[in-house]
Structure 1
Amino acid sequence: MSSPVRVLVVEDEALICSFIEDALSDGGFQTCSVSSGEAAMSTFRDGSEGCRALLTDVNLGDGISGWELARRIREITPGFPVVYMTSASAADWQSQGVDGSVLIEKPFAPAQLAAVVSQLLNAGV
C-alpha cells in the first residue's frame, strides 16, 4: 500500500492550521505545516518533506503572500497543485492566482479541503 500524499499547508493562524491538519488527516493526507511563505519556500526547495500539493492562506502577514508563494513554486515545478484559502481576497483570485488553482473561501467545511486536494491530484495538474 502506498503512503499518504503529503500536503504543504501554509497558515499563519495556529487554530486554523490545526483545523486544516485534522481535516486533511481525516481525508487520508499527511501534512507539513508552516506559518509563513518564506518557511514554505524553504521547505519546498529542500524537498525532504516530499509534498505533492500546496494549500496556502492568501494573507500570511509580513513577507510573501500566498499568491506570490504559489507563483514561485510554479516557477520551480510547473503544474504543481495549488489550493488557496481566504476570507477577504477571493475577488483577487482571477488576477493573482496561478492557472489551474482552486480557491476556497473561509469558513469552509473540513471535508471540502480533502475533496479539493484530491480533485487537483486526480486531474494530474
Structure 2
Amino acid sequence: MQGTGVTILVVEDEQLIRDMVADALSDGGFEAEVAVSGEDAVSLLQGNQTKYRALVTDINLFGKLDGWQVGHRARELNPDISVIYMTGAAADQWPAHGVPNSILLTKPFAPAQIVTAVAQLLNTGTPPAQS
C-alpha cells in the first residue's frame, strides 16, 4: 500500500501496544514513528516541528514527562498538530489536562479506532462528536 506521506508520532512505553498502534496506522496508510518516552517524543518534535501531523500518546509514560505534558509541548511547537491520548486509567483527567480539540481513547481499543481518530482530526481539525 502506498503511504499518504503523513507522519504520526506514537509515544507508548509498552511494546505490544506501541507495535499495535504503529501497525494499525501503517495499515491505514500513515507513516508511524515511535518514541518510548515523553522525553524522546519532545526531542523528535523539537528536531522537526512540522514533520509530524499528529501525536498519539499514552498518558502514563516512563520518565519525567507524561502524555499530558507531551501533548501540550507538541502544541507549543506546532499549534496545528492533532493530538490523540491513550489511557487505561486517566480518562477522568482529560477535561482538565488534555489540549483543546484532542481525542481520548480508553484502553483497550480496536486498532481501527486509532486510525479513525487520526483521520477524523486530520480531515476536520475537530474530534468526532462524543456519544
TM interval, shorter chain, is: over 0.9
- The one-character-per-residue Cα deviations of 1:36-67 (angstroms, maximum 9, x if unpaired) are 01100111111188211000000002210000
- The one-character-per-residue Cα deviations of 1:53-87 (angstroms, maximum 9, x if unpaired) are 00000000221000001111111211320000000
What does residue 75 of structure 1 align with? 76
What does residue 31 of structure 1 align with? 32
* Greater relative contact order, per chain length (Cα 8 Å cut-off, separation 6+): 1
- 1:59 match: secondary structure: coil
Matched, 1:12 2:13: yes
Query: Partners in 1 of 2:107 and 2:8 — Cα distance?
Result: 19
Aligned sequence identity (%) = 47
Matched, 1:99 2:100: yes
Retained in 1: the 8 A contact 2:3–2:30? no
**Normalized against structure 2, the TM-score is what?**
0.89
Give unmatched runs, 5+ long, in structure 2: 127-131
Give unmatched runs, 5+ long, in structure 1: none
- 2:44 match: secondary structure: helix
Task: Say if 1:102 and 1:48 are closer, same or farther in 2 by CA, change over 3 A.
Answer: closer
The list of structure 1 runs, each at least 4 consecutive aligned residues, that deviate by more than 2 angstroms after superposition, is 1-4
CA RMSD of aligned residues (A): 1.8
Query: Partners in 1 of 2:70 and 2:111 — Cα distance?
Result: 23
